[in-house]
Amino acid sequence: MIGIVDYGMGNLFSVSKALERLGVDAFISENPDELGNAKGLILPGVGSFRDAMTLLKEKKLDVFLKEYVETGKPLLGICLGMQLLFDESEENGLTQGLSFLSGRVIRFLGITESGETYKVPHMGWNRLSYKTQNPILQNVEENHVYFVHSYYVTSEDQEVILATAEYDVEVPAIVGRNNVYGMQFHPEKSGETGMRLLQNFLKLVG
């Protein structure tokens, strides 16, 4: 059973429908007691990092998630949910994250070193480039997936970056360490490639 964390800012329906298509039992909840019974959790997210952390704290879900991760059960953050896994974000002022992974979330500059402008947010299909071997990437080709984001992760800990995409800078697209994983793109909107990546996470859940 997969729990989908509802803190008020997630794209819950599309994630739930994707799991349904994969034949997986899933439930949506904001209740830590219910979520604690899940074999794996998905933390979705759309919107502001600061607002998301405020809601997580109000619902005591920040403390719960840290306790959950300590049990060794898998957690997957999607889009904003991935960014929340890191130390901090500069969005709307510096905000502390969950600190499961080391790094900071910063905004795309919108201008290249040569002075050319580019669109922010990074929106649309972009190709994955794998940086290492990991079970979550197993038997999935480096295909295009669907991104929508104005902020991206920077980390000096290159070992947590499993796959990247290029958008003026190298953008961490899939991250992970131990039982904590994140995808900056929307796997549930990324066709067969996204579904296979979700399936690999579910295999980790068991």
Please list the active-site residues: 79, 186, 188
Gap between the Cα atoms of 13 and 16, Å rounded: 5
7, two tokens = 């803190």
Q: Is 42 exposed, middle or buried (0-12, 13-18, 19+ CB in 10 A)?
A: buried
Gap between the Cα atoms of 93 and 182, Å rounded: 23
Gap between the Cα atoms of 108 and 79, Å rounded: 15
Q: Is 133 exposed, middle or buried (0-12, 13-18, 19+ CB in 10 A)?
A: exposed
Residue 52: phi, psi to the nearest 5?
-65, -45
78, two tokens = 């999607």
Please tell me what DSSP assigns to residue 129: E
Gap between the Cα atoms of 49 and 63, Å rounded: 17
Does an H or E element contain 147, and which?
A: strand 144-149
